[in-house]
């Protein structure tokens, strides 16, 4: 098997990993939330990337089977969702065990504790029942982390249970919050083989796929047999200095973003990345090598964090800001991009009777204006331009950016990729591959267990395996 | 159109808001002549005028201009006026100016002159390094500076600056200064009639209007306003200081006034009140210009003051205008104003004059916060009076 | 041999330490020894003139930067801000005012004497005017101002030279005579200027030694740490010449043996990047700041900050034949008195003459004279040299305005960019 290379981008909110092969083809991508434990975040992101790569292998094998080919996508969606379900149930079990296991620390009467136990058991059994529904093939989304999925389901049930049984909702939330922190800081990908086996069996139960027993089993076997010979790993991102890597295996975000953007859009000469903590304007040459860059000055004005602050001020979710701003019919001018001052200015505008959507449109424009000046500082936009980072997912921000770039630099090509969150990790993987020193190091951070034990029936799955 | 105060102020506001300087364009076409821009605070406008050119004061971009390219050149800790000036330049809004003067007011404006040299090659760019030595040595140096500038103006305009033409210009500006002084006196006397926002706009108009036109405007305004019946209000009389370069936005000027303060003196657009006495009209007009600069002028932070009278100019202003307090309104990151402030505050404390201080930017969005502050200041004076 | 070098090395450092300690010792005893004290700035300092009157100079910026290095500046700045100084303005000024309010204890722990004269050399920095206006409010002593007009058009005109010379002759010298109670001894001044010119010759050689590979000196950190300081307070005195002779010998030895400079992390012989740097350093985290560079294998081969006290590489020397005129020219020639296009040219020359891999700008919040326009300078220099520029931000002595993580992050990206350009990806 050919060698492969891994890039890891340890960001302030999410950690991304990308695996490429020696022809610089992307084999798999993985993402997880960064948590407080960076090392674990790296491990999980990498595992996720490896799982992604294995699923791609699976898909390729199925494609070769003439009998499957028509239904391959449907089949893959089924396998993935059952895989996800199995993984979720395993985590849920751990969460439930953790919650109930902490009973002696609850500091309450026996009666009370009994009531809480009952309630918890009920909530988790309800969550388990809901799970298959959450993992319908058509609902699948990689960006939903366990924390988000579990917490919204838990809240839903806990709220009802607490009202019905007159229990303190706050207390129930507290129990969840403690447990999720601990569970989140464990990897459950080790049982990859079990999950996949579960997915295989469940899929074959489906009459639509009943005839595909052989191709599925062969493909699953091939997937499990696949090995990853990691030749080099490079880390980047906000937390890169905390990575357990050698200095030679660390590259700055700027360089990785430049090379990653070049990889995705080879004609790109200018890259703008607006992340949670900083904004970067990068100029690259025809090979993707950085020729100039600028970052926001020492305050975080105009970064993703600014939007978070505004969302708090307006009592909204960050993801709601963009859509609301898009409804604006006129833009209110906001002059402060200082995170602190913007709050005051926002309140002032609201007091003057301006509409929330119009103010929000103004705020988005203000952020992009800051970015425009960084772009100008770094040398402007001369030809193809790529926008990456978390804020690139915000429609109001991209729309303001497009307008301003075209107004100021003419009709240049503007790329906004949905995969842009992986830009840094891709760049890091490419650096890993191109490292002139040819560092040989597998960092042993993946703990995926494959072909080490016989498939077994998994606890907590019986109830859904009908 | 009848020249009511309202009409005049509307016209001024249009001029204030017009960042494309259409007036300059039209004036140049109508007179087949050139225009020279200048940054705050002081330049000898008479010399530009005497060459048959229009002096145009550039005071940033206010709060209505989005800064895109200008920000690219300045760190966050530098004031706003150079950003908006660069933005004006790069967007072609200053193309009608045939030269730009950068008087020595601080290091930011000084360096802006060098930036202009690099960015707008071929234009006449002059860093006017006014002497801070006001004696014989400064006189010789300033004479050379002015002679050099006069030569350049003659070259650009194609007109000779003669003693006669310079005398005529000096007389016109003397008259303009007299009218401005009259306007300031009138406001101090009847601040409910001469709104500070009116005065601010009239002063800003002096940056752009040809001097005779501006003088006529002042006359018309004063005739109209003397006959107005704006109601008397119970406000506290204050002097505003520190706003001599980057100007507060109009909305902030209005907010201060509406918060309960009658502003009875200030230092905005200070260049057109720079000389306290008329400049001599006579045999040696160049020498008179020089003497006027070296001699009796306003005190302001960009003018070195080594004597023991630091702050007394402001104290006298407070006394003369019957003011009850001082508001330090300085642009954020304005070195001259902010370094001056503690010295002046000490003097005010010594003289028992209450004060308050805030910072603004020409595009500040914090109007309410400042209004609250000046309003509270006014209330506290009303309640407790001067100790 | 290394041992010997280390001893030699320590010789120059030890000597300069002693000289500075001796100076502060003299200052602390100035009043009892009837020595008059002149407060004046480093740029455009008239040390020869002051010494010709047998007076002692005090440099407020040097005190401020020393306070920064001794971690005292944060408290001093807050002290000044309590008395109404804005957080927006120069922290040298606030540090100085704060130090004064706290008893005016100098960097060696000895009290500083009050000034007998405030000699304001208004050279290249507008804030100087305000700074001494502020001091004037505090001290009951005369003040005299010397204005060095800005070289806006990139040259010294005869009018500028006349203006400065006349001020010296007619204003500054009489003020010094008044305060000292004696006439200017013009022969003594000539002697001092002759000595200065000799020391200047040595200093230029030392700066130019950085053209060697490896460079035997760090022209920025080493420059401000032990190469430059002696020049300010001692220029014109024999001990200054002696010091530079010793230093020059050390540097020559390092060149001959292909040795790099001594940094806090040891001798920097493996020099990965040769960098030219614009702007003052941060003083509160000076060591950390230096370490960031030393760790990356960076040697600074030329810097502009070390030229605020005088620019000699283009041939200017104090001239005993034209004493006041050359003192005036010296003031006019300080780095911060040059126009932006001229500064671009100076940096461009450094990059080319010293064969630098790139250039960095340390943009200082306090110092608009340096900082305003640096982003345009960077773009121009990149255009003219094809070399990449890096941009970081910090402050002189405000510990609140130094983020090691932020600076490290940018520098790392910057050096990796240079590296990537070298190898091609």
Of B71, B73, B76, the CB nearest to A299: B76
Closest residue of C to A278, CA-based? Answer: C406
Q: Is C413 on the interface with A (CB under 8 A)?
A: yes
* Among candidate residues C185, C220, C235, the one where a domain is terminated: C185
Residue-wise pLDDT tens digits, A148-175: 888 888 999 999 999 898 888 888 888 8
Of B118, B305, B306, the CB nearest to C340: B118
| Contact: C401, A298; criterion CB under 8 Å | yes
pLDDT of residue C8: 45
Return all residues near B48 (Cβ < 8 A) that are at least 6 apart: B36, B38, B54, B55, B153
Residues from chain B contacting residue C171 (CB–CB below 8 Å): 133, 135, 137
| Contact: A290, C382; criterion CB under 8 Å | no
Distance CA C218, CA C268 (A): 9
Picking from A68-72, B225-229, C182-186, C218-222, which range would have the lowest pLDDT averaged per residue? A68-72
Q: What's the CATH code, domain B18-161?
A: 3.40.50.11890
Distance CA C422, CA A381 (A): 24
Residues from chain A contacting residue C376 (CB–CB below 8 Å): none
| Contact: B117, C340; criterion CB under 8 Å | yes
Of B69, B71, B366, the CB nearest to A345: B366
Of the residues A248, A289, A294, A426, the best mutation for testing chain C's interface (the one with the most C CB atoms within 10 Å of its CB) is A289
Of the residues A376, A378, A406, the best mutation for testing chain B's interface (the one with the most B CB atoms within 10 Å of its CB) is A376
Q: Which two tokens stand for residue A295?
A: 């970052």
Average pLDDT over residues C171-175: 98
Closest residue of B to C81, CA-based? Answer: B342
Q: Which two tokens stand for residue B2?
A: 């009848």
Q: Is C141 on the interface with B (CB under 8 A)?
A: no
**A86 and A211 share one domain:** yes
Q: Which two tokens stand for residue A414?
A: 């503007």
Q: Is the pLDDT of residue A327 over 70?
A: yes
Q: Is A189 on the interface with B (CB under 8 A)?
A: no
Residue, of C123 and A338, whose pLDDT is higher: C123
Angle, CA C218 vertex, CA C214 and CA C219 arms, to 5°: 120
Domain total in chain A: 2
Residue, of B82 and C405, whose pLDDT is higher: B82
Is residue C258 within a helix (H) or strand (E), and if so which, with residue range?
none
Q: Is C65 within a domain?
A: yes
Distance CA C82, CA C234 (A): 36
pLDDT of residue A311: 85
What is the pLDDT confidence band of residue B237, given thresholds at 50, 70 and 90? very high
**A313 and A205 share one domain:** no
Residue, of B327 and A42, whose pLDDT is higher: B327
Of A297, A379, A436, the CB nearest to C423: A436
Q: Is C5 within a domain?
A: no
Beta strand C266-267 with C273-278: parallel, antiparallel or unpaired? unpaired
Distance CA B278, CA B274 (A): 10
pLDDT of residue B68: 85
Residue percentage of chain B with pLDDT more than 70: 99
Helices A72-101 and A110-134, interaxial angle, to 10°? 170
For residue C412, give Cα distances in angstroms to A65, A132, A255, C186, C243: 50, 48, 10, 54, 37
**C403 and C255 share one domain:** yes
Is residue B355 within a helix (H) or strand (E), and if so which, with residue range?
strand B355-360
pLDDT of residue C146: 98
What is the Cβ-side half-sphere exposure of residue A334, based on CA atoms within 13 angstroms? 35
Task: Give A170's DSSP letter.
Answer: H
Distance CA A426, CA A439 (A): 18
Residue C372 dihedral angles phi and psi, to the nearest 5°:
-65, 115
pLDDT of residue A227: 85
B47, B152 in Cβ contact below 8 A? no
| Contact: C171, B73; criterion CB under 8 Å | no
Q: Subunits touching B (CB < 8 Å, at least 3 pairs)?
A: A, C
Residues from chain A contacting residue B91 (CB–CB below 8 Å): none
CB atoms within 10 A of CB A457: 11
pLDDT of residue A464: 34
For residue A203, give Cα distances in angstroms to A66, A81, A86, A132: 18, 10, 13, 13
| pTM reported for the whole predicted model | 0.88
**C163 and C261 share one domain:** no
E strands, A46-142, where?
none
**C167 and C255 share one domain:** no
Beta strand A290-295 with A279-284: parallel, antiparallel or unpaired? antiparallel
Residue-wise pLDDT tens digits, A97-147: 998 888 877 778 888 888 899 999 999 999 999 888 888 877 665 457 888
Q: Is C155 on the interface with B (CB under 8 A)?
A: no
Residue-wise pLDDT tens digits, C207-246: 999 999 999 999 999 999 889 888 888 999 999 999 999 9
CATH number of the domain where residue C157 is located: 3.40.50.11890
Distance CA C27, CA C63 (A): 13
Q: Provide the Cα torsion A340, B245, B248, A405; round to 10°.
A: -60
**C270 and C382 share one domain:** yes
Closest residue of B to C161, CA-based? Answer: B141
**A289 and A369 share one domain:** yes
Of A255, A294, A298, the CB nearest to C416: A255
Q: Which two tokens stand for residue B137?
A: 């040595």
**C199 and C181 share one domain:** no
Of the residues A236, A294, A298, the best mutation for testing chain C's interface (the one with the most C CB atoms within 10 Å of its CB) is A298
Residue-wise pLDDT tens digits, C279-314: 999 999 999 999 999 999 999 999 999 999 999 999
Every domain of chain B and the residues it spans? 18-161
Distance CA B352, CA B387 (A): 7
Domain total in chain C: 2
Q: Is A401 on the interface with B (CB under 8 A)?
A: no
pLDDT of residue C4: 38
Q: Is A387 within a domain?
A: yes
**C243 and C117 share one domain:** no
Q: Is C149 on the interface with B (CB under 8 A)?
A: yes
Q: Quick one: which of A53, A354, A371 has its CA closest to A227?
A: A53
Q: Is the pLDDT of residue A224 over 80?
A: yes
Distance CA A259, CA A186 (A): 32
Residue-wise pLDDT tens digits, C406-424: 898 889 899 989 988 887 6
Report DSSP letters for C251-271, one per residue. HHHHHHTT---EETTEE--S-
Q: Is A247 on the interface with C (CB under 8 A)?
A: no
Distance CA A453, CA C117 (A): 89
* Among candidate residues C185, C215, C250, the one where a domain is terminated: C185
pLDDT of residue A449: 52
For residue A459, with 0-12 CB atoms within 10 Å meaning exposed, 13-18 middle and 19 or more buried, which class applies? exposed
Q: Is A25 on the interface with C (CB under 8 A)?
A: no
CB pairs under 8 A between B and C: 162
pLDDT of residue C10: 58
Q: Is the pLDDT of residue A89 over 80?
A: yes
**C301 and C241 share one domain:** yes
pLDDT of residue B133: 97
Distance CA A264, CA A252 (A): 19
**C160 and C176 share one domain:** yes
Q: Is A31 within a domain?
A: no
Q: Is A292 on the interface with B (CB under 8 A)?
A: no
Distance CA C122, CA C124 (A): 7
Q: Is the pLDDT of residue A438 over 60?
A: no
Mean pLDDT of chain A: 84
**C176 and C267 share one domain:** no
Q: Is the pLDDT of residue A461 over 60?
A: no
- Residues spanned by the domain of A290: 266-416
Of the residues C94, C123, C148, C152, the best mutation for testing chain B's interface (the one with the most B CB atoms within 10 Å of its CB) is C152
| Contact: B68, A297; criterion CB under 8 Å | no
Do you know the residue count of chain A? 466
- Residues spanned by the domain of C82: 10-185
pLDDT of residue A436: 60
Residue-wise pLDDT tens digits, A181-198: 888 888 888 888 999 999
Distance CA C363, CA C278 (A): 8
CB pairs under 8 A between A and B: 54
Return all residues near A114 (Cβ < 8 A) that are at least 6 apart: none
Residues from chain A contacting residue C423 (CB–CB below 8 Å): 436
Residues from chain A contacting residue B69 (CB–CB below 8 Å): 373, 376, 408
Distance CA A193, CA A199 (A): 10
Report DSSP letters for C288-352, one per residue. HHHHHHHHHTEEEEEESGGGTT---TTS----TTSHHHHHHHHHHTSGGGB-HHHHHHHHHHHHH
**A295 and A146 share one domain:** no
Average pLDDT over residues C358-384: 96
Q: Is A294 within a domain?
A: yes
Smallest CA–CA distance, residue A161 to chain B, in Å, is 47
Q: Is the pLDDT of residue A460 over 70?
A: no
Smallest CA–CA distance, residue C87 to chain B, in Å, is 9
Q: Is A457 within a domain?
A: no
| Contact: B346, C134; criterion CB under 8 Å | no
Dihedral angle sign, alpha carbons of residues B16, B17, B19, B22:
negative
Distance CA C296, CA C265 (A): 11
pLDDT of residue A340: 64
B56, B118 in Cβ contact below 8 A? no
CATH number of the domain where residue A404 is located: 3.30.420.40
**A162 and A298 share one domain:** no
Smallest CA–CA distance, residue A325 to chain C, in Å, is 32
Dihedral angle sign, alpha carbons of residues C19, C25, C27, C32:
negative
Of the residues A247, A250, A297, A303, the best mutation for testing chain C's interface (the one with the most C CB atoms within 10 Å of its CB) is A297
Closest residue of C to B131, CA-based? Answer: C147
What is the pLDDT confidence band of residue A207, given thresholds at 50, 70 and 90? confident
**C154 and C91 share one domain:** yes
Average pLDDT over residues B121-125: 93
C96, C131 in Cβ contact below 8 A? yes
Residues from chain B contacting residue C88 (CB–CB below 8 Å): 77, 332-335, 338, 359
**C171 and C199 share one domain:** no
Q: Quick one: which of A446, A456, A448 has its CA closest to A194?
A: A456
pLDDT of residue A317: 81
Q: Is C3 within a domain?
A: no
**C318 and C170 share one domain:** no
């Amino acid at each position: 098997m050919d060698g492969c290379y891994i890039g890891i981008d340890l960001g302030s909110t999410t950690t991304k990993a990308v695996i490429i092969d020696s022809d610089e083809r992307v084999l798999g991508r993985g993402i997880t939330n960064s948590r407080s434990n960076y090392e674990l975040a790296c491990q999980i992101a990498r595992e996720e990337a490896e799982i992604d790569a294995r699923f791609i292998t699976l898909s390729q094998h199925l494609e070769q089977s003439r009998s499957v080919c028509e239904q391959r996508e449907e089949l893959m969606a089924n396998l993935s969702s059952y895989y996800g379900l199995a993984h979720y149930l395993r985590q849920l079990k751990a969460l439930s065990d953790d919650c109930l296991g902490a009973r002696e620390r609850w500091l309450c009467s026996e009666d009370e504790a009994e009531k809480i136990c009952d309630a918890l058991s009920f909530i988790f059994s309800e969550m388990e029942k809901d799970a298959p529904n959450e993992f319908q093939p058509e609902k699948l989304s990689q960006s939903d982390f366990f924390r988000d999925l579990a917490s919204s389901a838990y809240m839903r049930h806990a709220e009802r249970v607490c009202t019905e049984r007159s229990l303190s909702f706050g207390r129930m939330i507290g129990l969840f919050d403690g447990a999720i922190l601990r569970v989140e800081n464990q990897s459950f990908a080790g049982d990859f083989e079990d999950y996949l086996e579960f997915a295989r069996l469940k899929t074959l139960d489906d009459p639509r796929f009943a005839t595909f027993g052989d191709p599925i089993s062969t493909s699953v076997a091939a997937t499990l047999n696949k090995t990853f010979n990691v030749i080099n790993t490079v880390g980047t991102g906000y937390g890169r200095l905390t990575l357990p890597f050698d200095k030679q295996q660390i590259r700055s975000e700027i360089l990785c973003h430049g090379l990653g953007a070049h990889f995705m859009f080879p004609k790109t000469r200018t890259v703008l990345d607006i992340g949670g903590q900083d904004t970067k304007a990068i100029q690259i040459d025809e090979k993707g090598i950085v020729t100039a860059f600028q970052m926001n000055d020492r305050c975080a004005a105009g970064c993703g964090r600014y939007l978070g602050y505004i969302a708090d001020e307006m009592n909204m979710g960050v993801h709601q800001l963009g859509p609301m701003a898009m409804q604006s019919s006129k833009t209110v001018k906001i002059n402060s991009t200082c995170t602190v001052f913007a709050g005051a200015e926002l309140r002032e505008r609201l007091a003057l009777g301006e509409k929330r959507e119009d103010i929000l449109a103004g705020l988005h424009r203000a952020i992009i204006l800051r970015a425009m000046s960084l772009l100008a500082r770094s040398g402007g936009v001369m030809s193809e331009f790529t926008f990456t980072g978390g804020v690139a997912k915000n429609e109001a921000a991209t729309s303001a950016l497009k307008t301003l770039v075209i107004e100021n630099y003419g009709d240049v090509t503007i790329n906004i990729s949905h995969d842009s969150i992986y830009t840094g990790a891709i760049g890091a993987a490419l650096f890993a591959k191109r490292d002139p020193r040819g560092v040989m190091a597998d960092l042993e951070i993946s703990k995926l267990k494959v072909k080490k034990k016989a498939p077994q029936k998994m606890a907590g799955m019986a109830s859904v395996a009908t | 159109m009848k020249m009511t105060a309202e009409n005049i102020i509307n016209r001024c506001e249009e001029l204030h808001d017009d960042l494309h300087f259409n007036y300059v364009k039209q004036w140049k076409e109508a007179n087949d002549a050139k225009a020279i821009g200048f940054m705050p605070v002081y330049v000898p406008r008479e010399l530009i005028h005497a060459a048959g050119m229009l002096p145009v004061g550039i005071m940033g971009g206010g709060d209505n201009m989005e800064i895109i390219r200008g920000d690219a050149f300045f760190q966050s800790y530098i004031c706003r006026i150079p950003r908006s000036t660069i933005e004006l330049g790069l967007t072609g809004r200053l193309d009608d100016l045939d030269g730009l003067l950068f008087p020595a007011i601080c290091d930011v404006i000084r360096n802006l002159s060098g930036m202009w040299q690099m960015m707008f090659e071929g234009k006449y760019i002059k860093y006017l390094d006014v002497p801070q030595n006001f004696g014989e040595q400064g006189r010789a140096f300033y004479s050379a500076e002015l002679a050099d500038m006069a030569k350049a103006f003659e070259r650009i305009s194609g007109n000779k600056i003669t003693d006669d033409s310079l005398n005529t210009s000096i007389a016109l500006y003397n008259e303009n200064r007299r009218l401005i002084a009259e306007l300031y006196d009138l406001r101090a006397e009847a601040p409910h009639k001469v709104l500070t926002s009116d005065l601010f706009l009239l002063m800003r108009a002096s940056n752009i209007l040809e001097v005779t036109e501006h003088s006529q405007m002042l006359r018309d305004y004063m005739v109209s306003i003397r006959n107005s019946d704006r109601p008397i209000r119970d406000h506290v009389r204050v002097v505003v200081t520190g706003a001599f370069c980057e100007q507060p936005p109009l909305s902030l000027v209005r907010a201060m006034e509406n918060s309960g303060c009658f502003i009875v003196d200030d230092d905005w657009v200070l260049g057109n009140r720079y000389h306290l006495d008329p400049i001599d009209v006579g045999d040696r007009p160049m020498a008179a210009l020089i003497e006027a600069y070296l001699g009796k002028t306003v005190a302001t932070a960009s003018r070195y003051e080594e004597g023991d009278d630091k702050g007394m100019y402001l104290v006298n202003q407070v006394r003369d205008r019957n003011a009850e307090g001082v508001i330090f309104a300085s642009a954020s990151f304005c070195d001259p104003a902010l370094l001056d402030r503690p010295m002046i505050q000490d003097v005010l404390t010594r003289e028992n004059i209450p004060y308050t201080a805030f910072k603004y930017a020409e595009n500040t969005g914090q109007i309410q916060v400042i209004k609250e502050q000046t309003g509270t200041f006014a209330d506290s004076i009303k309640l407790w009076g001067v100790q | 041999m290394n041992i010997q070098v280390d001893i030699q090395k320590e010789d120059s450092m030890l000597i300069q330490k002693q000289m500075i300690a001796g100076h502060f010792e003299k200052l602390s005893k100035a009043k009892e020894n009837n020595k008059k004290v002149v407060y004046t700035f480093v740029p455009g300092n008239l040390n020869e003139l002051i010494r010709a009157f047998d007076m002692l100079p005090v440099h407020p910026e040097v005190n401020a930067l020393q306070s920064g290095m001794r971690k005292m500046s944060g408290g001093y700045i807050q002290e000044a801000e309590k008395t109404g100084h804005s957080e927006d303005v120069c922290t040298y000024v606030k540090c100085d005012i704060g130090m004064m309010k706290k008893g005016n204890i100098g960097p060696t722990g000895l009290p500083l004497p009050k000034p007998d004269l405030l000699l304001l050399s208004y050279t290249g920095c507008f804030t100087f005017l305000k700074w001494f206006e502020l001091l004037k409010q505090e001290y009951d002593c005369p003040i005299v101002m010397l204005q060095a007009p800005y070289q806006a058009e990139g040259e010294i005109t005869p009018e500028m030279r006349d203006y400065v010379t006349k001020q010296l002759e007619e204003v500054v010298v009489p003020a010094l005579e008044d305060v000292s109670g004696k006439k200017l001894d013009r022969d003594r001044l000539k002697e001092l200027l002759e000595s200065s010119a000799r020391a200047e010759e040595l200093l230029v050689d030392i700066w130019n030694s950085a053209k060697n590979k490896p460079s035997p000196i760090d022209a920025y950190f080493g420059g401000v740490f032990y190469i430059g300081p002696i020049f300010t307070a001692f220029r014109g005195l024999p001990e200054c010449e002696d010091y530079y002779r010793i230093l020059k010998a050390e540097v020559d030895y390092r060149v001959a043996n292909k040795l790099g400079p001594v940094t806090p992390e040891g001798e920097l012989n493996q020099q990965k990047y040769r960098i030219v740097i614009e702007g003052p350093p941060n003083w509160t985290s000076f060591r950390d700041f230096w370490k960031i560079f030393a760790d990356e294998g960076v040697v600074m081969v030329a810097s502009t900050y070390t030229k605020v006290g005088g620019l000699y590489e283009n041939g200017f020397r104090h001239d005993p034949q034209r004493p006041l005129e050359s003192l005036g020219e010296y003031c006019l020639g300080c780095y911060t008195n040059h126009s932006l296009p001229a500064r671009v040219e100076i940096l461009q020359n450094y990059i080319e003459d010293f064969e630098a891999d790139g250039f960095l700008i340390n943009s200082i919040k306090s110092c608009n004279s340096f900082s305003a326009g640096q982003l345009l300078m960077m773009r121009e220099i990149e255009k003219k040299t094809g070399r990449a520029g890096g941009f970081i931000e910090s402050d002189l002595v405000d510990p609140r305005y130094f983020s090691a993580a932020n600076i490290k992050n940018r520098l790392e990206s910057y050096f990796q960019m240079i590296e990537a350009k070298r190898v091609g990806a």
